[in-house]
A and B are shown apart, each in its own frame.
Chain A
Amino acid sequence: MKKELGIFILLLVLCAITAILNPRFLTPVNLQNTARLIGAFGILSLGLGVVIITSGIDLSVGSVMALLGVLLSMAITQWHVPGVVAVLLIIVGGMALGSLHGFLVSKVRIQPFIVTLCGLLFYRGAARFVASDETKGFGNAAGLESLQNLAIGNLFGIPTPFVLLLIASFVMWVLIHRSVYGRYLFAVGNNEDAARYSGINARWIIASAYVVCGALTGLAAVIFAFYTNSVSPSSHGNFFELYGIAAAVLGGCSLRGGEGSVIGILLGTALLQVLQNLVNLLGIPSSLNFAVMGAVILLGVLADQLLKSRKK
């Protein structure tokens, strides 16, 4: 809990600095925009967090989003699949890819890094091939507004993606911190052998984490596709897996597994998005965007280490 408190304070400080240096930070438009992005990225980061808790990793998330995004657009505009059905199919598709990763990791015993690195390359290529390397949009397809509102709409003034994130977070919080399944996730991530020797089906638990991640990736893919309203197969979702991993790690997940919390992941995501916003609002050249993010993550982890050693 202390870790979460630390990052929460860091988040508040960043917000305060930005607000003081540029009051536009606090305008409803800007806050809404930032919240919208936090919602979309948060859903993605939650999925990665679950996988990281089992001491795994998923590098394929960004490419999966490109592939699913392209498929969503083509399903609706070219194959005339009803919008709601298409959205559900995309989420199921994310789960199917997650199952494949889970199978390769837990049954075939290939390292998660390798499995999902291959995925990162494969799905990107597949997305470009399926789309003939053309940007796919949604045009002005009739009857899509309600679905598009998932990404660009508001609910009582709150951006829909943020509302979706709150719902997803609550579900994940119960699953991770209150359920037997969640306890098993942490057990497997901390000591797979001891879990197995306690009668836990460790392989199944690990595989299921990738499926959960796939479902959340699918949902995030839908939101991002409608948000950008056009999916360029070669650049859509680039680096998104790294945003997710960064948010999870900032939020207290250990890459060694067995550690992490939903609140932490949410705060980590928020911090990253506020940081992006800060770069924009403070007139820092946008080319420095990644550099600022890298530096802040490093500082955050460093501060955490220092606090830890101070305590000892």
Chain B
Amino acid sequence: MQGISKRFPGVIALNNVSLEVFPGEIVALVGENGAGKSTLMKTLGGIHQPDEGTIQINGETVTISNVNDSMRLGIGFIHQELNVFPNLDVAANVFLGREPVNGGFLRLIDRAKLEAATATLLERLGVDVSPRTQLSELSIAQQQMVEIAKALSLNTRLLIMDEPTSSLTLSETTRLLQVVKDLRAQGVSVIYISHRLGEVTEIADRVVVLRDGANAGTLQRDEITHDRMVTLMVGRALQHVHEPKETSLYPNYFIVENLRTKRYADNAVSFGVGRGEVLGVSGLIGAGRSEVAQALFGVEPALGGRILLDGNELLIKSSQDAIKHGICLIPEDRRHLGLVMDWTIQDNTTLATLTNYAKAGLIDFAAENKVAVEMSQKLRVKAPSVAAKVSQLSGGNQQKVVLAKWLLQKLKVIIFDEPTRGIDIGAKSEIYDLINQLAAEGTAVIVISSDLEEILRISDRVAVMHEGKLTGILPRAECSEEAIMRLAVGSE
């Protein structure tokens, strides 16, 4: 790809960007939110056409005007949000639209051939799953493998993976990285987009860094270090210091006693958070952390247990109850739970506090606009205006809009569920700053995260869950990746 430029109304998304990938090479593409990674990849996927620049494959200039062109040229995509049909089985997913047929004009699906071909692909990836298993029965990691199998079945020569490990556990991530390396050994080229620089360091042959829609630099294999990547991405060296607070100074303010959730009805969870404290909640995916958060926020009320705030017992049966008591949740799935994606920044920002900008039930549009603009500026949401649809924003900016929605009211307890999932380094540190600021203002903060680096960076104490049980709460001094992992896998 050479000299690629792409303009959108009001924004230059890509400015003379070049990228090359050799056969059997893993190129990591890194950069902040809105740095242009997704737009660049979309030009390869045929979703956007570049305004300038050329794309060459094996020395031949090609035009990719739609998804089919892209597929035919051997380009495969593994999106962050998986594109699978949970109601169909593995074989059907892999060969959807290209089923082998027999039976002449009846075009009956040749099950035997279909399953055999699928089995071969799964074997190539080292996945131990039957082609007949329904997708909904598989873990996210296994579903992702099915997507990779699908890409391989299309004779993919260049595989583009966008944040493939964002919802994987540690062991699944290790497994995926191995598969990517195996694919490289088989001559497949990979463009690997990730914000997890540890993974990038491990597998990339070369790192291409984008910043503000332009090439910011390239690092060869022996030059790849965490710090150098970060420096190129943000254009300056990041300082990441978090002074852990002395937690004994923060007596428990928000207390959860024997909370039981539907998913883990037999396990009760108890913990407390002080004013101004950040409690990290670590654990593997499916440990029941989100369920606790949903119970505290009332969207999936708890089966039992007590919730106390400042000594008063709260009855939380709905999100309205939680909000009334100053408790809010920034959900993990911001596209479906955090935002109305078709709506503007303004409408999303004011959704939870609309009654504050209304008289007698009628909206004061000027007042609404004023707070939305103020909040967007305060959180530095990058967008042409508050009338922009949130679906057009990058993940980090979307998350800021979700935050804006809640910061418009006085909060006592704020729960973050995977606050920086799919968000790049620059926006991440902005979110961390906000979390610290909230704590400094006396809010009790709970941060659920699967990212150990993040947990260690922002928490004053770390609670660890395993299969619905709270296996331990570590004071800051005792926190280390090893100590947390030991509790997370339930070995003690």
Residues in A lying within 8 Å of B, measured CB to CB: 174, 178-181, 183-184, 187, 190-191, 193-201, 258
Contacts and interface: CB of A to CB of B under 8 A. Distances in A.
A interface: dominant SS: helix
A179 B361 contact: yes
Nearest to B324: A199
A181 B360 CA distance: 11
A193 B300 CA distance: 12
Question: Could you say which of A180, A181, A193, A195 has the most chain B C-beta atoms within 10 Å of its C-beta?
Answer: A180
Given A180-B361, A181-B361, A183-B363, A200 B336 contact: no
Nearest to A178: B362
A258 B341 CA distance: 12
Contacts of B331: 197
Nearest to B334: A194
B320 interface: yes
Given A197-B297, A199-B322, A258-B342, 14 more contacts: A179-B363, A180-B363, A183-B354, A183-B363, A193-B337, A194-B337, A195-B340, A195-B351, A197-B329, A197-B337, A198-B351, A199-B320, A200-B320, A200-B351
10 contacts: A178-B362, A178-B363, A179-B358, A179-B361, A179-B362, A194-B336, A194-B338, A197-B329, A197-B337, A200-B319
B167 interface: no
Contacts of A195: 340, 351
A201 B318 contact: yes
A249 to B, nearest CB: 18
B303 to A, nearest CB: 19
Given A178-B362, A183-B347, A187-B351, A201 B337 contact: no
Contacts of B358: 179-180
A38 B299 CA distance: 43
Contact of A198 (B336, B361, B405): B405
Interface string B330-350: 010000111111110001000
B323 interface: yes
A197 B337 CA distance: 6
Contact of B355 (A180, A193, A196): A180
A195 B354 CA distance: 12
Interface in B429-486: none
A188 to B, nearest CB: 10
A199 B323 contact: yes
B42 to A, nearest CB: 15
Nearest to A177: B363
Contact of A199 (B336, B341, B347, B352): B352
A179 B360 CA distance: 9
Interface string B284-317: 0000000000000101000000000000000000
Contacts of A199: 319-320, 322-323, 352
A174 B363 CA distance: 10
A177 B339 CA distance: 20
Contacts of A200: 319-320, 351-352
Interface in B5-41: none
Nearest to A191: B340
Contacts of A197: 297, 299, 319, 329, 331, 337-338
B256 to A, nearest CB: 20
A204 to B, nearest CB: 10
A191 B361 contact: no
A13 to B, nearest CB: 31
A190 B340 contact: yes
Q: Which 8 A-B pairs have the closest CB atoms?
A: A199-B323, A198-B352, A198-B351, A197-B337, A199-B319, A191-B340, A180-B358, A180-B354
A180 to B, nearest CB: 5
Given A183-B354, A187-B351, A201-B318, A193 B336 contact: yes
A194 B340 contact: yes
Contacts of B320: 199-201
A191 B351 contact: no
Contacts of A180: 354-355, 358, 361-363
B299 A187 contact: no
A197 B354 CA distance: 14
A191 B354 contact: no
Nearest to B406: A198
A198 B334 CA distance: 12
A196 B299 CA distance: 7
Contacts of B361: 179-181
Contacts of A196: 299, 319
A187 B319 contact: no
A195 B323 CA distance: 13
Nearest to A259: B342
B188 to A, nearest CB: 34
A200 B342 CA distance: 18
Interface string B393-427: 00000000000010000000000000000000000
Contacts of B329: 197
Nearest to A184: B354
Contacts of A193: 336-337
Contacts of A198: 319, 351-352, 405
A191 B333 CA distance: 13
A184 B340 CA distance: 11
Nearest to B342: A190
B198 to A, nearest CB: 31
Nearest to A189: B340
B415 to A, nearest CB: 12
Contacts of B323: 199
Nearest to B352: A198
Nearest to A175: B361
Interface string B131-153: 00000000000000000000000
A196 B329 CA distance: 11
Nearest to A181: B361
A183 B363 CA distance: 9
Contacts of A258: 340, 342
A30 to B, nearest CB: 39
A174 B358 CA distance: 13
Nearest to B351: A198
A170 to B, nearest CB: 13
B31 to A, nearest CB: 28
B426 to A, nearest CB: 26
Contacts of A174: 362
A190 B343 contact: yes
A171 B331 CA distance: 36
Contacts of A191: 336, 339-341
A174 B360 CA distance: 12
Contacts of A183: 347, 351, 354, 363
Contacts of A178: 362-363
Contacts of B338: 194, 197
B72 to A, nearest CB: 23
A198 B408 CA distance: 12
A201 to B, nearest CB: 6
A190 to B, nearest CB: 5
Contacts of A194: 336-340, 351
